[in-house]
Amino acid sequence: MTDPADMRGLFDAATERFGGVDVLVNNAGVGTQKPVPIAETDDELFGRIFDVNTKAAFFGMREAARRLRDGGRIVSISTALIGLALPGRAIYAGSKAAVEVFTNIMAKELRGRGITVNAIAPGPIATPLFLDGKSREEIDDFAKQAPMERLGTPEDVADAVAFLVSEAGGWIDGQTIRANGGMV
């Protein structure tokens, strides 16, 4: 998704198969298993994280702005790490912070088309992306940070996405929903 031609191809395929596109969920994401301080972040790591997390979301949003049918929905996945501001997570959080800014501005740019543009900022979700490379103690510590005292599940995020793309979510626009069990 880091190549604009691939993103156009994805929209072409969806349009051909379904007659148009009504919903875009920007869910591509990459990070590091362990914290990496800014001073120790090499150019390759910085580029890889921003390519996947920021450029891919931008290319998807740009294509959606051009091709989404009126009344459509755009939901991008961000992160609770923006609010947590944990040392060693600046590059990942920064890449997703850009997506939140894109979200708010794009909602205003699409005025008059009935398209909503929102983001969801999950806390730690029990998926391989989060769990791999962490000890049981680290995982338990993260789970205890949220007042809900558990990690999120993919279903928790999917439910928030489902709400935002439904008619019931039609009045929410330009927002970031912090789906993190109260962590931030």
Q: Cβ(49)–Cβ(98) under 8 Å?
A: no
Helix (H) or strand (E) holding 73: strand 68-77
Residue 48 tokens read as 């890889």
**Cα(89)–Cα(93) distance, rounded to whole angstroms?**
6
User: How far, in Å, CA of 85 to CA of 104, rounded?
Assistant: 20
The sign of the dihedral angle between the CA atoms of 155, 2, 85, 177 is negative
Residue 152 DSSP class:
B
Q: Which of 50, 58, 59, 92 is catalytic?
A: 92
- Give the DSSP letter of residue 26: E
Has 86 been annotated as catalytic?
no
Give, in order, the Cα–Cα distances in Å from 31 to each of 18, 76, 79, 93, 95: 33, 16, 11, 9, 10
Active site residues: 92
